[in-house]
Structure 1
Amino acid sequence: MIIGWGAISVTVTDSRSDNGCSGDAGAGFIGLEVAAGARKHGAEITVLEVAPRVMGRALSEASAAHLVGRHERAGTSVRTGVLIERIVDDGHGRAAGVLFAGGEVLPADLVVVGVGVAPATELAERAGLPVDDGVLVDATLRTEDPHIWAIGDCCRFPLPSGQPVRLESVQNATDQARAVAAAITGEPAPHDAVPWFWTDQHDAKLQIAGLLDGHDRMVLRGDPDADGHSVFCYCGERLVTVESINRLRDHLAARKLLAAGFSPCAADVADDAVDLRELLAVTAPAPRSTAP
């Protein structure tokens, strides 16, 4: 079973009885990945989320609804807007279910609770470094002490726009590790890699380029009822995020578009016949001539 409380919580469960189990999953990426895996092995799964919809911080409403549909078609029940009061004990020190605030009990064989993460900043604090939901660093990932850098989930760094963020992802950590290695070896440069993420759920590979914060419109590329499609998210006329489901070519193009700071018009994005990579090549400045 899998449960979560709070918008970013995750829980995981599995069956310890011959009758299978009821599973509840915090509706973040990890919880939904576990729900998909458990369902594939025959477990009965219920996904629980306290927020009005799943993955509200990380995904557009369109992409989140599409993933929920895939889970439901696979036999998983998805419930949002629920408040978990406590885990019910069977009287022998083992979980027997989950009690909701309204009094309903969802039976479960096993409950594993994950409640999100908080950055471990104690060492940085003892070193006298500024912290604020993470170790504060500059654009080169250097702390206030010029001999100390911080990377990965524990650091809060500025985006090229100046907005400070803390990202919890494998790709962010490896990108930042490369940036700090270059700085230590004498080639410091601002860390400006485009954030990107991925998740595999049932037969869907979702790949995200950019950060969703602040979008006000979406443009669909491809057919959601076919094998793959993408959702391009804009803030005004500026492209901020691209969510691609089983569309690797769109994802790779999106990372290049965002890195170049180029926002294609909605008509080009919606036209699946338009090659976004060629569009970027056409708009890119010509290389400088080296002729004498």
Structure 2
Amino acid sequence: MQFALAGAALAVLDVAEPERKVRRSLAIASDWRALRIHEIGSAAPPDRPARPDRPELLPATRVKKRRIGPGATGRIALLHALAHIELNAVDLAWDIVARFTGEDLPRDFYDDWVQVADEEARHFELLADRLAALGAAYGDLPAHDGLWEAALETKHDLLARLAVVPLVLEARGLDVTPAMIEKLQAVGDADSAAALQVIYDEEIGHVAIGRRWFQWLCERRGLEPAPTWQALVRKHFRGQLKRPFNEAGRQQAGLPQDWYVPLADG
């Protein structure tokens, strides 16, 4: 059966097993680019996507901090945590495709978020391969549910979703990933460092896509982008933004300092 795009997105969200979810995501992205899927359609995504039995999901405060040392244990913990983020990011991209079709969005919007979903799926594959090389697999360790809590908090409004997920949570990834790459290089894990470099480079583009559509939607609604973003973050994101910021990466993604610095801790 041939799906419209929203129905195809739902077909990803309904898959629990990570490898199947990733394969389906990649196939749908390919079909969209090749115009084998060309209609948007509509769908009613679940509040939560299907999830495998493992990893066990714990409160963020109960998930152990990951420290990279000379052995593999710390690297496995880091890569596992990142793989969990990327699998959530696959679902977040397809959720934004399916959930907000009532906004009458241009095709370019869907092109961008299908690209994000495609790249997030490939990121998960990169990290799963690195875990396998270290004798581990996704699901071996506990993880937390913070990303999907943000999705639930913003499910009612596309502008709120854009404000929090790409422009807070993914932007935070730009801040912390360069230090992770350096630590992996320092312990001689060049392959994991290279995987994170690919992810970092493409995540700049994801933040830029979030910024583009946040600005577009503000213009449509007659809102000033900077104060609107700040108000939405204060309302829907728990806590302050954490320093230090990767100013260069954020600038490359189109995030102005006068947006996020006023919300920073310290």
- Judge same fold: TM > 0.5, yes or no: no
Q: Which has the higher contact order (CA 8 A, sep 6+)?
A: 2
Q: TM-score, normalised by structure 1?
A: 0.28
Structure with greater strand share of residues: 1
TM-score normalised according to structure 2 size: 0.30
Question: More helix per residue: 1 or 2?
Answer: 2
Larger Rg: 1
